Amino acid sequence: TLTATVTAELTATTWDMGEPADPATPTATVPAVQCAGPGMPYTAGANPAAPPCGYTYLWRSLPERTAGAGTWPVTVTAHWTITWTLSTGATGTDTVDTRTTVPLRVREWHSILQNTAGG
């Protein structure tokens, strides 16, 4: 009988936010967001404006900006490291990427005015 122990570890994610750098040039998209590891759990009281791996949309996903879809196509690629051990003593490591795309509607944004020292 041959048995295998396999472990998958999420080592990084790459987020393509689907938003153009400028709506007048829709083919020039913003750079992908690279995130190490699986991310951070929600922490009450954390600063939502400065997450360790985050993105803030600059443009609403209006139909005229999205070829009628009204959404930005957000694609996440999960980068996995797979390690395995067989009952024979053989071991190995491999990498696997998985990807999915979902539509995201961005309807509004809020401006925050801050009174800073000297400003």
For 80-111, how does the pLDDT look when each residue is reduced to its tens digit (9 = 90+)?
Answer: 999 999 999 999 999 999 999 999 999 876 67
115 falls within a domain = no
Does any domain span residue 74?
Answer: yes
Between 42 and 119, the more confident residue is 42
Q: Is residue 96 part of a domain?
A: yes
User: What number of CA atoms fall less than 13 Å from residue 70's CA on the CB side?
Assistant: 2
Hey, is 63 helix, strand or coil? helix
Whether 113 maps to a domain, the answer reads no
For the beta carbon of residue 44, count every other beta carbon within 10 angstroms.
4
pTM: 0.77
Is 92 part of a structural domain of the chain? yes
Q: Which of 10-14, 20-24, 43-47, 81-85 shows the lowest per-residue confidence on average (mean pLDDT)?
A: 43-47
In this structure, is residue 61 part of a structural domain? Answer: yes
Number of domains observed in the structure of the chain? 1
Report, as an integer, the average pLDDT of 37-50. Answer: 77
- Across the chain, mean pLDDT equals 89
Is residue 60 within 8 A of residue 70, CB to CB? The reply is no
Q: What's the Cα-to-Cα distance from 30 to each of 26, 27, 101, rounded to whole Å?
A: 10, 10, 16
- Does residue 46 carry a pLDDT above 80? no
